[in-house]
Amino acid sequence: MKNRLKVLRAERSWSQQDLADRLEVSRQSVNAIETGKYDPSLPLAFRIAETFDMSIEEIFTKD
Amino acid sequence: MKNRLKVLRAERSWSQQDLADRLEVSRQSVNAIETGKYDPSLPLAFRIAETFDMSIEEIFTKD
DNA sequence: TCACTATGTAAAGGGTGTTTGACAATGATT
DNA sequence: AATCATTGTCAAACACCCTTTACATAGTGA
């Protein structure tokens, strides 16, 4: 799975920590998802989509 | 998270095994997701959405 | 009744997601 | 030069996802 987190975050000038705070996860989780180390859980994917006011499919794609 | 898996599956007259085969997971995984024991991983949620030709948001909701 | 299908559930084990704490490297500011 | 914010990464620990194997129950049809 690929994702557009890094771009979306940059567009808003948020640090990884800023996004982590909004998502209520650790900064390391945000970093790991951005750098492709693993995919978020489904509930977290929903929170991410909410945070960026987009659908999950607009943020994540199957490679 | 809630999901409409059981209804969508019934609409197509698929057994849990039928759906599991299409998703390439075990029948127990389908059952566990349907009965709310846990949420699928994000990649599996994508396969589920594809299988039913719907968006993830149309199938899963945050309670 | 006997077989067969479908569903729910349980236990054990491997793999993944998330956490905290820590350290290093870079770039900007003072 | 020293500080600070940001990012990347690592390790250990714990919870969750998914597997296989297995057993129990209920419904269907020969």
* Residue B13 CA distance to nucleotide C8 C1' (Å): 19
DSSP 8-state code for residue A61: E
Banded pLDDT at A4 (limits 50, 70, 90): very high
| Domain B2-54: CATH class, spelled out | mainly alpha
- Running along chain B, 63 residues long, what does each successive block of 10 average in pLDDT? 97 98 98 98 98 98 89
Q: Are B22 and B8 in contact (CB under 8 A)?
A: no
pLDDT tens-digit series, residues A18-52: 999 999 999 999 999 999 999 999 999 999 999 99
Token reading at B29: 């995984």
In this structure, what DSSP letter does residue A54 have? Answer: S
- pTM, rounded to two decimals: 0.95
Residues 4-63 of A with CB under 7 A from strand C: 24-26, 28-29, 32-33, 37-41, 43-44
Q: Which tokens sit at B50?
A: 């594809």
- Residue ranges of domains in chain A: 2-54
How far is A7 from B16, CA to CA, in rounded Å? 39
Tokens of B61: 């909701």
